[in-house]
Structure 1
Amino acid sequence: MDKEGSKMRIKGVLFDKDGTLFDFHRTWVPILAEAALVAARGDASLVPGLMAAGGYDEATGRVASGSVIAAGNTPELALLWLQTAPLWEAADLTARLDAFFAEQAPRRSEPVTDLGVLLAALRGSGLRVGIATNDSVASAFATIGHFGLAELVEFHCGYDSGHGTKPEPGMVHAFCDAVGLSPGEVAVVGDNFHDLEMGLAAGAGLRVGVLTGTSAHDDLAPHADFVIGSIVELPALLGGLS
């Protein structure tokens, strides 16, 4: 890819949500432990096995990069957990988990910075802003509202929005259609390789990895044009490319 050529064309930023705008481990490990208890129908003895199956290492308190907990969507998580605790119908557990996440995530998400200030700065520089998550669209919408970002985020979608799931390119294309950009004018920013692979599949002009999620630098570097510590560094990065 010609990075120099793509740098000059960036006019929009499509963010992943969890691990990118919000610190993944501080937000999602406690929520997922409670969700696992839901999947176990209250049997706490099943929770450690469910969490481990999803990619959580209790010894380190970390979630593995690329695991179902890190990168999957709710139906994938439900099917995985049903292998260990077959106590629900898959559709029922998916619906129950989606409702639980949409209720819990907005009020318990831990932003990596003052998102209103950061997104306002990006919008003020002329960039279009969207969010694409493998969480549900209801959870994304509720979180955007809870943090007062509705006037700053022009587009949002989830795994259930009809645009496909990551790493398919549909979410990027939907953002482009919504704000009138071409994929080559968009920077995709995420904490997992599936975010960056989505950007590649869509023909995004820039792919930026962040380290506030489940991935280390070496996990992201092969898939990214740049890897930064967090989105706090993004305005300077983009400003240096313009």
Structure 2
Amino acid sequence: MVASEMTYDEWGEVAQEWRNGYLKFTRDIAADGNRAWKTVDEHHLESLREILTERGLLFPRADDTPVNLVHDGSLWDEQQIRDISMVWHRLGPWPDTAQGIQELNRLFWTCTLSNGNLALLRDMVEHAGMEFTHVFSAEMFKSYKPNPAVYLGAAEKMGLKPEECCMVAAHLDDLKAAKANGFRTIYVERPLEERHPELKEEGFVDLWVGIGQEGFVAAAEKLGCQILRARRRSGSAPQLLKQEE
């Protein structure tokens, strides 16, 4: 394959294959506790190399030199490949997310609970201006969602019972697993995000925010934050971005 001849759609296929590989990687570790642990960042780099090699865009060395070196003639050099693999650290948020989290912080603790590793989440949260009160990662529990250890471990870290926690997500499979572990659930529906539309009729969503309803801002309003909406944020608001040990 010649990179200069690839179409926009073909590059889209590369990106989708990369994304699909992540989903399989996390599901496999979640289902099998005996698999060797690996962070999402590590997987993304390894997976990107494999995909580019399979498509003839990367030529890894086959001799005794370190495996992370590539031959001249590859589309990108080693540092560029590493930089591309870190693109997930710089994803932009949905337009309502940062404001919605600020509103929720007035009445609740807000926590990430992502399969992304802590370094990835810290960068993403800072880049997107999302002021969560806590940053939790599946890395803390050495498994991946939907393994129960992730949901129950997060509740325990907060000193809460599962039924005192609410999972907010744009993916129904995540919410289904959270509900199975005792969490309440809020579905923030996003365009083109849902991988399992067949789950919409199963009834495990406690609060549904539909497309066009301002996402996290609407969720905050439905939970009572609208009465504080016009006030300036209190100086006693929770300390932001706590990384739990």
Check whether TM > 0.5. Answer: yes
- Aligned partner of 1:142 in structure 2 is 123
State the partner residue of 1:174: 153
After TM superposition, the structure 1 = structure 2 runs for residues 100-179 of structure 1, keeping only pairs within 5 Å, are 100=83, 103-113=86-96, 115=98, 117-125=99-107, 127-149=108-130, 152-158=132-138, 160-179=139-158
Closer, same or farther: CA 155–107 of 1 in aligned 2, 3 Å: closer
What letter matches 1:234 in structure 2?
A
Q: Deviations over 1:165-220 (max 9, x none)?
A: 1111222223212221111111111111331133034221x122222251189445
The one-letter amino acid of 2:117's match is: S
In structure 1, stretches of 5+ residues that fail to align are 1-39, 56-66
Q: 1:224 to 1:130 in 2, by over 3 A?
A: same
Secondary structure at 2:143's aligned position in 1?
Answer: coil
Task: Please list, as runs of the form range in 1=range in 2, the aligned pairs for 1:1-242 lying within 5 A after superposition.
Answer: 45=6, 47-53=11-17, 73=26, 74=40, 75=43, 82=50, 85-86=53-54, 100=83, 103-113=86-96, 115=98, 117-125=99-107, 127-149=108-130, 152-158=132-138, 160-204=139-183, 206-212=184-190, 214-215=193-194, 218-221=197-200, 222=202, 223-229=204-210, 230-239=215-224
Q: Please list the CA deviations of residues 36-87 of structure 1 after superposition, one character each: whole Å capped at 9, or x if unmatched.
A: xxxx9968747354345457xxxxxxxxxxx556786543895598478446
Higher RCO, 1 vs 2 (CA within 8 Å, ≥6 residues apart): 1
| CA–CA distance in structure 2, aligned partners of residues 98 and 172 of structure 1 | 33
Q: Which runs of 5+ in 2 are unaligned?
A: 27-39, 69-78, 226-245
Q: Structure 1, residues 3-37: CA drift from partner, whole Å, max 9, x if none?
A: xxxxxxxxxxxxxxxxxxxxxxxxxxxxxxxxxxx
Task: Output the CA distance in 2 between the equivalents of 1:80 and 1:106.
Answer: 15
The number of equivalent residue pairs is 183
Secondary structure, in 3 states, of the residue corresponding to 1:161?
helix
Aligned-residue offset at 1:228: 1.3
Structure number with the higher helix fraction is 1
CA positional deviation for 1:130:
0.6
Question: Is the 8 Å Cα contact of residues 101 and 139 (structure 1) preserved in structure 2?
Answer: no
C-alpha contact (below 8 Å) 2:114/2:137 kept by paired residues: yes
Structure 1 residues 79, 113: closer, same or farther in 2, change over 3 A? same
RMSD: 4.2
**Per-residue deviation, residues 104-154 of structure 1 (Å, max 9, x unmatched):** 345441333151x322322211x121101222321111122234445x422
| SS of the residue 1:128 aligns to | coil
Q: Radius of gyration: which is bigger?
A: 2
The separation in 2 between residues aligned to 1:168 and 1:98, in whole angstroms, is 31
Q: Percent identity?
A: 16
Distance 1:164 1:47, change over 3 A: same
Q: Summarize the Cα distance change of 1:44–1:147 in structure 2 as closer, same or farther, 3 Å threshold.
A: same
Could you tell me which amino acid in structure 1 is paired with residue 216 of structure 2? Answer: I
Other-structure match for 1:9: none
3-state SS, counterpart of residue 176 of structure 1:
helix
Distance 1:234 1:48, change over 3 A: closer
